[in-house]
Amino acid sequence: MMRMIFPICEIHEIRGQLRSAPWIELIQGSPYSPPMGRQWLHAKRAVASMKKAQATGKIVREIMVAAKMGGADPEGNARLAAAAEKARKESVSRDVIERAIKKGAGLGGEKLVMDYVAFEGYAPHKIAVIVEVYTDNVNRTAPEIRHHFRNCQLGTTGSNKFLFDHTGIVEAYSPDPKADLEAAGIEAGANEVEPLAREQNDDIPEGATGARFLVDRSAVHAVSRWLSQNGWKVITSEIGYIPKTYPELNDQQRAEVGEFLQSLDDHDDVHRVWAALR
């Protein structure tokens, strides 16, 4: 299973979402008004800038959540190590990373206060979806998530989790294009291993061998550590939901489901979107 990313957005949607993000401040009301012929260019740049800020905010939140769940030491917290590495790759400053770790782990004056909520429902064409949310205001977030499902179906707790396996997920790549996935999975202690292409996770470099290792929930750190010590670069290390089956869809249906999933993922409080979509 992969988290599908379909890059669609509208500037007014992004602006509305970023306004609620606690770590992002938009500067509005600039006195400069570009000539009409160049306004489209400024709008395009604004969209790209806002999208990057939103992505950075989600990375920072991932660091905080990882530190809260597994502690502040990346050596003993594979999820945190992967999140911090991704933040560095996205040019997040060392100071921001360190402050996020301290806040998540409850060190110093700031402490992370967030509620975890999982929403279960169905995307268009009856595609099962689990949406994991971390929020500092459930009363604000819950109606917003329900609004996303207005033309679909939002279920109750436990309504579709039985359609997924709750398991450990480690995604990694080897710079060796001929790396033996099966051998690596056995040595690392994974239950299953499958190829992972760059199209599925753009953190995998061209020419590298990507893989998704499915492991026991209690073995996520041990598997990640083995891979890291044996020439693999871990890019995802977490506990998530893998669909047991994948309904068949045509291209049009996949596009409609993808648009819906992207709208969910664009919400600032949404942490993960798991869906029965290949």
Q: What are the pLDDT digits (tens) for 136-181?
A: 899 999 999 999 999 999 999 999 999 999 999 999 999 999 999 9
The mean per-residue pLDDT over the stretch 36-43 comes to 44
pLDDT at 5 over 80: no
Beta bridge pairs of residue 128:
122
Q: What are the pLDDT digits (tens) for 201-229?
A: 889 999 999 999 999 999 999 999 999 99
Residue pair 249/256 in contact (Cβ under 8 Å)? The answer is no
pLDDT at 71: 93
Residue pair 120/158 in contact (Cβ under 8 Å)? The answer is yes
pLDDT at 27 over 80: no
Which tokens belong to 42?
Answer: 């400024």
Weakest mean pLDDT among 7-11, 19-23, 105-109, 130-134: 7-11
pLDDT at 31 over 60: no
Distance, CA of 36 to CA of 28 (rounded, Å): 19
The mean per-residue pLDDT over the stretch 113-132 comes to 94
pLDDT at 26 over 90: no
**Is the Cα torsion angle 184, 219, 74, 206 positive or negative in sign?**
positive
pLDDT at 34 over 60: no
Pairwise pLDDT comparison (15 vs 51), residue with the higher score: 51
The mean per-residue pLDDT over the stretch 75-104 comes to 92
Strands 192-195 and 153-154: unpaired
User: pLDDT band at 51, cuts 50/70/90?
Assistant: low
pLDDT at 156: 93
pLDDT at 185 over 80: yes
pLDDT at 49: 54
- The identity of residue 140, as a single letter, is R
Weakest mean pLDDT among 12-16, 95-99, 251-255: 12-16
Weakest mean pLDDT among 39-48, 79-88, 96-105, 122-131: 39-48
Pairwise pLDDT comparison (53 vs 132), residue with the higher score: 132
Residue 129's contacts (CB-CB under 8 Å, 6 or more residues apart) are 120, 121, 122, 123, 160, 261, 264, 273, 274, 275, 276
pLDDT at 11 over 90: no
pTM for the full model? 0.75
Residue pair 25/58 in contact (Cβ under 8 Å)? The answer is no
Ordered domains of the chain (ranges, CATH): 39-112 (1.10.10.200), 115-162+245-275 (3.30.70.980), 164-243 (3.30.70.980)
pLDDT at 42: 43
Highest mean pLDDT among 41-45, 68-72, 186-190: 186-190
Q: What are the pLDDT digits (tens) for 239-278?
A: 999 999 999 999 999 999 999 999 999 999 999 999 999 8
